[in-house]
Structure 1
Amino acid sequence: MLSPSVFFFAGTASQELGKSIAELANKLLGKWELQRFSDGEIRPILQENINGAMVVLIQSTYTPVDHLMELLLMIDAARNAGARKVVVVLPYLGYMRQDKVHQAGESYGAALVTKLLFAAGADQLIICEPHTSNLHLYFSGIIKEVSSYEIFKRYLETLQLKNVCFVAPDAGALAAARLYAQFFNANLVACHKIRQAPNKVASIQVTGTVKNTHAIIIDDIIDTGHTLYAVAQELRSQGAYSVYALCTHPIFSGYAYDYLLSSVLDKIIVTNTIPIKKQHVKIKVLDIATCILPFIEKVVLED
């Protein structure tokens, strides 16, 4: 049981996940109101007495950018109301793919967003699969990273698939795919994708054998779905019995949802870091709240 002096608030982007986390912690979500000026400017108001308390703010920052601004204002509001500590839970933190400067004139988006969270008054960040590993360089507080590995692993065990292989769709997913391959004593397959433009995949080269296997693609983000679609197509063409995808963050931008439902993928397993717009038998959503709560409890115990 967490102390009464710990308050949970869920932003508009993470209402359902916030409720799930709060219920697991035997807490009620704190009351707050989001006001809007006529020009669209937002004004969140926390409606609990949080003076001297620890405040846990739960908010994903997927599109639109209002979700990020809302979170920054909520952090500032908590500080202004006398919160002793502000812990920010980011099921999905946007702009993390902008973690390198490839050419002159680019912004270092990941660093900027992390600095903004600290400047607003966040003491600690709890982030699910942040897509980059160097955020600690730009945030002066504590950063904890939550992995979806355990809930995905448990789900795969319920499927009881025989003769599986794990597929990394690109170099960035190789380490994660290797974890699954080692646990299930399965083969690891690597892909190399050749892009014709951003979010457009020209071709996929597969290193390894997938014939007569259940191929399971491991990745952290589904955005347009083009990579996932192309990889699944190539795996099937090389003789895979079935193709599954495990991806933590279902961004599903543009026409990704319909695009992926028309693919050869048998199942797409994601978490609820970002709410799914439409339910479908082909998409399985796992609740990541059980992975997040232990990190919050540890912060409370260490406080």
Structure 2
Amino acid sequence: MAKAEKTLLFTLEPHPLQQKLCDQLGLEPGQLELRRFPDGESYIRITTPVNGAHCIVLADLSRPDSKYLAHVFLFETLRELGAKSVGLVAPYLCYMRQDRRFVDGEAVTSRLFARSLSSHIDWLVTVDPHLHRYQSLDEIYRRPTKVVQGAPALAGWLQGQDNVLLVGPDAESEQWVSSIAQASGHPYVIGAKQRLGDRQVEVTLPDISRYRGWKAVIVDDVISSGRTIGECVKALKVQGADTIVCAAVHGIFAEASDTYLLGTGLKALVTTNTIPHSTNEIDVSTLLTSPIRDFLNQAEGAHR
């Protein structure tokens, strides 16, 4: 292939951030063919010249087991075809929850996945990964990483909305919810969660009678099973809340939990565009451009 001159952005499937990042960073969309053989194996062909180009892969890594191997093939083929660098923008970073061996014999998948992914990329940008027992991604990733906070995007969406009470479903959300509240200028309360099983939780809330008639906006970083949010909705209704909305950074919506949540009486369910979904209403692209540009500048400097 002839030598490429532009920075290229590849994605294996359509993503709402693709065109936005191309427009804001002056990237050229990379073209490729992806299909499955009858036996389920992946076929990938890169049709855009990449020799001498810096390449970025934008990847939706939710439900990763069916996607990851094809991304490995893409990373390595870009290198074989002469890409100067291969960076990854994974707005949602998977395999972060298993951060220790809780029971003898368990795989600590966060470390194993990080080790594997680090061997295929030069840098990583992501949004609000699940950092519980890790202080930073640098503890497990062997390549430079940058974590973007989604809170400013949610705060921007909330600004201008009157009579809004922000609700964090559990103690883990307090630091995150308080930063959004400070930026958006809204009061907030935090619930207490008791986990009764993998799919059963109980949420209690402090007295919110002073906010009667206000819109309650439950905010969280990730919605997976949706059970915590559902219990939070019930707790709000017990206290007389009528208009209840939920806004989250990452909407995984495992097992059709979006349908379940809307059935609890939510007036609206809103997410950012980190994971493609019909609820995507909040754009995080402007938060991603600066760290991506920094990594591209570093990569270009390293090749001069």
TM-score bin (small chain): 0.7 to 0.9
- How many percent of aligned residue pairs carry the same amino acid? 26
Structure 2 counterpart of 1:291, which letter? Answer: L
CA contact (8 A) 1:267 1:284 kept: no
Structure 2 counterpart of 1:144, which letter? Answer: K
Measure the CA separation in 2 of the matches of 1:165 and 1:200: 25
Indicate the residue corresponding to 2:255 in structure 1. Answer: 254
Deviation, structure 1 residue 64: 5.2
Measure the CA separation in 1 of the matches of 2:122 and 2:108: 22
Structure 2 residues not aligned, in runs of 5+: 300-304
Measure the CA separation in 1 of the matches of 2:28 and 2:54: 14
Indicate the residue corresponding to 2:156 in structure 1. Answer: 154
Decide which moves more: 219-228 or 24-33: 24-33
CA contact (8 A) 1:10 1:57 kept: yes
Indicate the residue corresponding to 1:51 in structure 2. Answer: 51
Structure 2 counterpart of 1:74, which letter? Answer: L
SS at match of 2:78: helix
Structure 1 residues not aligned, in runs of 5+: none
Deviation, structure 1 residue 55: 0.8
Structure 2 counterpart of 1:31, which letter? Answer: Q
Measure the CA separation in 2 of the matches of 1:190 and 1:286: 23
SS at match of 1:255: helix
Residue by residue over 1:142-177, the C-alpha shift from the partner in whole angstroms, topping out at 9 and shown as x without a partner, is 11012222221121114x212x33222123222110
2:296 matched to 1:300? yes
SS at match of 1:15: coil
Measure the CA separation in 2 of the matches of 1:241 and 1:284: 23
Residue by residue over 1:241-269, the C-alpha shift from the partner in whole angstroms, topping out at 9 and shown as x without a partner, is 53222211111111312211112222222
2:219 matched to 1:218? yes
Matches within 5 A, 1:274-285: 274-276=275-277, 279=278, 283=279, 285=281
Measure the CA separation in 2 of the matches of 1:184 and 1:23: 28
Deviation, structure 1 residue 111: 1.5
Decide which moves more: 43-52 or 135-144: 43-52
Measure the CA separation in 2 of the matches of 1:119 and 1:50: 20
**Aligned equivalent of 2:286, options 278, 285, 290:** 290
Decide which moves more: 171-180 or 205-214: 205-214
Measure the CA separation in 2 of the matches of 1:245 and 1:4: 44
| TM score, norm. by length of structure 2 | 0.87
Residue by residue over 1:91-113, the C-alpha shift from the partner in whole angstroms, topping out at 9 and shown as x without a partner, is 11222222233221222111111
Structure 2 counterpart of 1:300, which letter? Answer: L
Decide which moves more: 84-93 or 164-173: 164-173
Indicate the residue corresponding to 1:24 in structure 2. Answer: 24
CA contact (8 A) 2:159 2:185 kept: no
Deviation, structure 1 residue 284: 5.4
Measure the CA separation in 1 of the matches of 2:184 and 2:156: 11
CA contact (8 A) 1:220 1:249 kept: yes
| TM score, norm. by length of structure 1 | 0.87
Decide which moves more: 65-74 or 209-218: 209-218
Structure 2 counterpart of 1:34, which letter? Answer: L
Distance 1:55 1:271, change over 3 A: same
CA contact (8 A) 1:190 1:208 kept: no
Aligned residues, how many? Answer: 291
Distance 1:131 1:125, change over 3 A: same
**Aligned equivalent of 1:138, options 137, 140, 147:** 140
Aligned Cα root-mean-square deviation (Å): 2.2
Indicate the residue corresponding to 2:124 in structure 1. Answer: 125
Decide which moves more: 127-136 or 247-256: 127-136
Residue by residue over 1:44-76, the C-alpha shift from the partner in whole angstroms, topping out at 9 and shown as x without a partner, is 222222223211100011125222222222111
